[in-house]
């Protein structure tokens, strides 16, 4: 079982070389046709910066997503990519029922472009951070949380949230 190709793809499944911070990101990897027999137990994907900082590590064992059956094509979906703008390299590792089957360093690269991660209508400044985490800040008024950023509940945010809930429900078989 070997990793033959790794691509970042858009919603239409077409390979892309750049993505906007905050957009849905999907990475696909395919094993060679001749290596269909071994069962794939785990897919590990890590993103590294040019300085070899590791802002993301993704692993199906962390999320509880089983990879049952023959491992011919795997997808890793990030609902809102939260890394700051820059070039990133992807390392990928497949583990089979007999241990590590393949480990490819710098298997692919992706350019992350300035985007509106928090959906405020303007690009999100990195301010020295390496990644963004969705959060809300508010004011405590008599024990009630008041959102200090009502723009964060924009129609775009609602659309993204609905899309994410539907996609998660489809994946879970609900």
92-150 pLDDT, tens digit per residue, is 888 877 788 888 999 889 999 998 888 888 888 888 888 888 776 666 666 665 555 55
Burial of 83 per CB tally in 10 Å (0-12, 13-18, 19+): buried
Whether the CB-CB separation of 78 and 46 falls below 8 Å is answered with no
The contacts of residue 56 (CB under 8 Å, 6+ apart) are 45, 46, 47, 83, 131
Residue 21 has pLDDT above 60, yes or no: yes
> In this predicted model, what pLDDT tens digit does every residue of 77-107 receive, in sequence order?
887 888 899 999 999 888 877 788 888 999 8
How far, in Å, CA of 171 to CA of 173, rounded?
A: 5
pLDDT band at 37 (very low <50, low <70, confident <90, very high): very low
Is 0.75 surpassed by the pTM of this model? no
| Dihedral sign (CA 113, 131, 165, 7) | positive
pLDDT of residue 156: 57
Provide CATH code, domain 3-135.
2.70.50.60
Q: Where are the domains of the chain?
A: 3-135, 138-174
> In this predicted model, what pLDDT tens digit does every residue of 157-174 receive, in sequence order?
566 666 666 665 665 555
């Amino acid at each position: 079982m070997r990793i033959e190709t790794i691509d970042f793809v858009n919603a239409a499944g077409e390979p892309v070389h750049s993505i906007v911070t905050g957009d849905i990101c999907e990475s696909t990897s395919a094993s060679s046709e001749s290596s269909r027999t071994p069962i794939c137990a785990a897919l590990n994907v890590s993103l590294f910066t040019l300085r070899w900082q590791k802002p993301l590590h993704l692993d199906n064992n962390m999320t509880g997503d089983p990879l049952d059956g023959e491992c011919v094509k795997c997808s890793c979906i990030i609902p809102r990519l939260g890394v700051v703008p820059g070039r990133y390299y992807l390392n990928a590792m497949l583990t089979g029922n007999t241990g590590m089957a393949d480990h490819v360093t710098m298997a692919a690269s992706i350019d992350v472009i300035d985007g509106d991660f928090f959906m405020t209508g303007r690009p999100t400044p990195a301010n020295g951070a390496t990644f963004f985490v969705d959060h809300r800040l508010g004011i405590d008024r008599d024990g009630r949380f008041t959102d200090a950023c009502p723009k964060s509940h924009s129609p775009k945010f609602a659309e993204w949230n609905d899309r994410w809930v539907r996609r998660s429900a489809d994946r879970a078989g609900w």
